[in-house]
Structure 1
């Protein structure tokens, strides 16, 4: 175990808080799984706990493997992976798995394994790396709107267009995070304003087309509109049931909570172990538990900021921002939905909600971020070793000069001279002592 811990390179703070969030997830997931067992009649609570343990274990395996890869390799990988992701999204759009009778699919089933996988999560990672690569490449060059439109924004809009019909919240999150990343990467603001305007225009056109030709393609436009109307105008909606139960759970928890495993609303919330797990956390652990979880995400956010500041290359900085910030914003969105600050989106609580692909994609992002911090640690260690060698060399040189001065003084006074030394004598030869024979 000690050897394994010593092999964990990179920012120890990020490692610690990610592990802590993963450990915290077990009790809420185990408690909320009783809804699936006793109300819906699927599986057993121990089975769901073991399944979640396997997901977490695989996730940390991915972190370990990914953080061993030098982060600059992801520049080229993003270019190769982007067309693959586009093909997977097209396949998902036409042949993906439909969940709970929805009229649009988000998942594909991995052959021979039987595991469902949400392709939009992988698309976000690949797209953020691709954007970071472009911004780093154009660091010392003048960016024109025409060149950036074809090289940067066309791939972004293609990926978003493939995600949008089935998952508006994820498409909106990706677009907002890309805009945030290009802003941090000093993309011209006048161009960014034009891109945002184009994005809004295309969204409106898509909604109008879907309304005019509802059978032309599978989409969830009516679901989005219903949720927005319900949120802003207080109109009745099927999601009101979930929101009301979530608010009851939060109100019941009060300050200290009802205790681990004693939640009542987990039996009524359909997505108690995923989309609304934060409500179960507050009900069982109270306001203190909810604030503690939020605090962990904010501390992790602070570690991302520190790591981005320490990164020497622009690509490393942008990787941390592009992959780390969406994790935090997704967590805040999940919490905002639970307390009805935001309309229902379907975003999970990273590292805490149950679900394999969401955990694994979050872990891949964390692994890439740690790979960046690992490289910076290696550079700092090399500099420290270089300074140590230089200091040792300077000390030996000083000793050599002192010995020569003593010999000259002895010769001047006619005293016995110190024995001559060989150039191979590392005790007086500074170059041999520091660098070897």
Structure 2
């Protein structure tokens, strides 16, 4: 596909010329690592719960295949198509998240999942990308749209109302980790949109106050923080085992299939898959994984520096902020840099909801940062002269 002629005006050819192929390649690397680490981590976990050794692998093959296809499909949408997708998806995710409070599956005291045939779905996972795009859309409209006279569209007010609904739902489940990520995404988008520094300080202070409140109100939050701060308090089995796995792996690892952490940790295929990578493949592979995530985030942000559409800038910033935060929280908690939080490593950890929601996130970011090409008779003449790329590419909204 890299050798497609520039005179080829098919939709596929135009998509391939304009999409960020480096980010797309990084997604392919993460999906490949997801397959490899599932082969390493999941059989022992499946046997331990009395299931078939292949159960998690077969499911994840389907999940990651769907995620890869969804990334490609969503990345080909127009910017208006992304808005419609986010609006419809956000409404459905909001209603489904509310449904978990009534008909959700309760696991470890939290109602976050809805049971479906062959799998369970965590609707709040889909709130992250949809809310980021809707917020970017509302903030952009508040800057450019005038409803009458000198009164501008109250997009900022609507964004806060939407965030308030999400806050109430996630607090009721409770899912403080997901709420923290969405709050950070929202604050980042407000900052990029031009929020004054005094209000940034107020927002940071409010987040600190909310964290202290969660520490007091929610016992599981207090337990995790105290176990993080005080090594002699509570159960440290999973973290101690994960850190021992990194030590056993060393620089180059013990070799594929030779790790022991997957036989000891209940969530070795999900929340602690990074420890499996560290033990079997070593520090170098772990650094490569970190670099792949950094490339996706930094490359998207650098592309936004050349963008002039406020909707694209705000939305894509929110999308990659959520993506990067999720990766950091997973790897940071596994390495005991932050308190533990049950959050998956994008495209690598086991989980259907996570894989599909991350695919939606990256697909939206690729679509928004894709060069938008406006077709006209003049540009077709440039195409025939093989000058299309240098004379016509533009970023029309």
TM band (smaller chain): 0.7 to 0.9
Provide the secondary structure at the position in 2 that maps to 1:138. helix
Paired position in structure 2 for 1:230: 227
1:49 aligns with 2:53: no
1:176 to 171, 184, 189: 184
Paired position in structure 1 for 2:140: 136
Q: Structure 2 CA distance, aligned partners of 1:349 and 1:155?
A: 27
Paired position in structure 1 for 2:257: 261
Number of residue equivalences: 373
1:161 aligns with 2:168: yes
Paired position in structure 2 for 1:249: 245
Paired position in structure 1 for 2:73: 65
Matches within 5 A, 1:69-80: 69-80=77-88
Q: Structure 1 CA distance, aligned partners of 2:127 and 2:52?
A: 31
* CA apart distance, 1:233: 2.7
Provide the secondary structure at the position in 2 that maps to 1:72. helix
Paired position in structure 1 for 2:34: 25
Provide the secondary structure at the position in 1 that maps to 2:114. strand
Q: Structure 1 CA distance, aligned partners of 2:254 and 2:238?
A: 20
Paired position in structure 1 for 2:159: 152
Q: Structure 1 CA distance, aligned partners of 2:85 and 2:163?
A: 16
Provide the secondary structure at the position in 1 that maps to 2:305. helix
Q: Structure 2 CA distance, aligned partners of 1:380 and 1:257?
A: 52
Paired position in structure 2 for 1:410: none
Point out where structure 1 has 5 or more consecutive residues left out of the alignment: 211-220, 393-437
Contact 1:32 1:277 in 2 (8 A): yes
Contact 1:55 1:360 in 2 (8 A): yes
1:34 aligns with 2:43: yes
1:124 aligns with 2:128: yes
Contact 1:336 1:342 in 2 (8 A): yes
Provide the secondary structure at the position in 2 that maps to 1:334. helix
**Quick check: 2-11 or 73-82, which moved more?**
2-11
Contact 1:71 1:372 in 2 (8 A): yes
How far does the alpha carbon of each residue in 1:235-273 deviate from its partner, in whole angstroms, 9 at most, with x for none?
Answer: 4223x1100100010000011100011111111111101
TM-score normalised per structure 1? 0.77
**Which has more radius of gyration?**
1
Q: Structure 1 CA distance, aligned partners of 2:154 and 2:68?
A: 39
Contact 2:271 2:330 in 1 (8 A): yes
* CA apart distance, 1:366: 1.1
* CA apart distance, 1:51: 1.7
Q: Structure 1 CA distance, aligned partners of 2:385 and 2:12?
A: 31
Q: Structure 2 CA distance, aligned partners of 1:147 and 1:196?
A: 23
Cα RMSD over matched residues?
A: 3.1
Point out where structure 2 has 5 or more consecutive residues left out of the alignment: 5-10, 388-397
Contact 2:215 2:221 in 1 (8 A): no
* CA apart distance, 1:126: 1.6
* CA separation of 1:263 and 1:116: change in aligned 2, threshold 3 A: same
* CA separation of 1:359 and 1:141: change in aligned 2, threshold 3 A: same
* CA apart distance, 1:387: 5.8
TM-score normalised per structure 2? 0.84
Matches within 5 A, 1:371-410: 371-374=367-370, 376=371, 378=373
How far does the alpha carbon of each residue in 1:7-30 deviate from its partner, in whole angstroms, 9 at most, with x for none?
Answer: 853111111110011111112111
